[in-house]
Structure 1
């Protein structure tokens, strides 16, 4: 953790909705006039698309059918921790961009499935924002969680997470349902060992729970809408959280536990604005006073 150069980390698995949370933070930063350095978790994958296919084939040939982007071996986690540490120390670091599709390929001038060159963060940023798979990961080799000043988990219930991933990968990436199912099965051991434990490290978790039947996510024709969902917001420490204010500001919300509030899914952006804005401003104010 760093007083002078704060780090905000949003973590969640593929298809969980971390990109939506990123957009909310973009609004907060723009409104409050804050300059952020950005890291997309995909930037710290170890392999590009072609290399990953080869690495998966080699792993499967050796008997490992669970080699995935969720695990340590497929990512540059030590390098990512080094960037977190460097930014917390002096506000410096570097990142790159993973090019997902043809639209991004046209923008960056490089093939889809490859990386852009490494680039240094801009000078004079107010904070670092990470969004990806491993923002609060703790293993025998790395401890990302200790570097982040504010850690946020985005955790839909598992069937909803799968529905979101299936629909995204089919529509945006052209994958078949069977191919997405294979990916889910391959990732499951790393999901259990690497992804899930992060949500005990996070300061705030947002978990969307559908109020419609999602019992078979592999045949679902639609993603449940926000109006068909509730969101459970869990605070690691409820100290300093004004639950009375939140429930008064968010219609039809209620407390389910001493550290949890439940809100209608359509109120997620409002809730994040109410909860995250003061947390961000507190980090920035502390940073500016320390400098």
Structure 2
């Protein structure tokens, strides 16, 4: 953790909705005039798309599971080093994983490969990471301890699967059965690698649908925000001086479900993020200015 160079990380599974949260933070950064260094979790994949496909095929022959959720499939030691170095110096290296032809044409590299590592320009106010492993901790790696704010995005699992199936089809043209196969292959790593992180996050956003999602693999559409509620859990409300009375007054139809959890209508999630995160970022910037 660093007052001079804060690190914010948003972590969640593929299809969880971390990109939506990222956009909310981007809006807050813009309004406050904060210049962030944006880091994508995909850039810490260990393998290119072709290499990953070969690793998965080999693991399947051996009766094993292997996925981008896996510890071994990522450069997590380098991710930890990036968080630590930025916190200490405000400097870091960055690269991009090319996910689409549009990105490839823009950056000049084939889909499924990486751009070279480059030093990021100086002068950023904070680092913002969005990806799969922002709160990862193993026997040798502890990424979470180098963060100043950790946010988890954790929809109910059936909703998460619906979102992933629809997203993969819309963005990459994957058939539902192909995405279902990926979900099954990732399940062991989801349980062992992804879910433990949400016990380390400072704030979790868990979206719960209010419509039937009992068979996510045949769902024709994603439940809308107004067909959902969102549970916001604060691991330690004192850390960020969370005023639950103020939140309840500002967010219509919200209520407390536990001493550290507030439930809000799904359509109010953006408002809740503005109310919760803006003062946290303002405080981080004030502390940075006085350090």
* Normalised TM-score (structure 2): 0.97
1:1-291 matches, within 5 Å, as: 1-64=1-64, 66-239=65-238, 240-290=241-291
Q: What are the ranges of 5 or more consecutive residues in structure 2 without an aligned counterpart?
A: none
The more displaced of 74-83 and 235-244 is 235-244
Give the Cα–Cα distance (whole angstroms) in 1 for the partners of residues 171 and 41 of structure 2: 19
The more displaced of 164-173 and 96-105 is 96-105
Moved over 6 A (4+): none
Give the Cα–Cα distance (whole angstroms) in 2 for the partners of residues 44 and 276 of structure 1: 26
Give the Cα–Cα distance (whole angstroms) in 2 for the partners of residues 94 and 269 of structure 1: 31
> Number of aligned pairs?
289
Give the Cα–Cα distance (whole angstroms) in 2 for the partners of residues 119 and 21 of structure 1: 26
Deviations 1:241-285 (CA, angstroms, capped at 9, x unpaired): 111111111111111111011111111111000000011111121
Give the Cα–Cα distance (whole angstroms) in 1 for the partners of residues 61 and 286 of structure 2: 53
Alpha-carbon distance, 1:109 to partner: 2.0
Alpha-carbon distance, 1:97 to partner: 1.1
Two-structure CA RMSD over aligned residues (Å): 0.9
Alpha-carbon distance, 1:14 to partner: 0.2
Give the Cα–Cα distance (whole angstroms) in 1 for the partners of residues 94 and 55 of structure 2: 23
Alpha-carbon distance, 1:127 to partner: 0.4
Q: What are the ranges of 5 or more consecutive residues in structure 1 without an aligned counterpart?
A: none
Alpha-carbon distance, 1:62 to partner: 2.6
Give the Cα–Cα distance (whole angstroms) in 2 for the partners of residues 75 and 130 of structure 1: 15
Q: For 1:54, what is the secondary structure of its paired residue?
A: helix
Deviations 1:187-208 (CA, angstroms, capped at 9, x unpaired): 1111111100000100000000
Deviations 1:141-173 (CA, angstroms, capped at 9, x unpaired): 210110001000000000000000000111211
The more displaced of 113-122 and 254-263 is 113-122
Deviations 1:118-158 (CA, angstroms, capped at 9, x unpaired): 12122011100000000001111210110001000000000
Give the Cα–Cα distance (whole angstroms) in 1 for the partners of residues 118 and 18 of structure 2: 23
Q: For 1:156, what is the secondary structure of its paired residue?
A: coil
Deviations 1:181-225 (CA, angstroms, capped at 9, x unpaired): 111111111111110000010000000000000000000000000
Alpha-carbon distance, 1:106 to partner: 2.1
Give the Cα–Cα distance (whole angstroms) in 1 for the partners of residues 180 and 254 of structure 2: 35
Alpha-carbon distance, 1:238 to partner: 2.1
Alpha-carbon distance, 1:33 to partner: 0.6
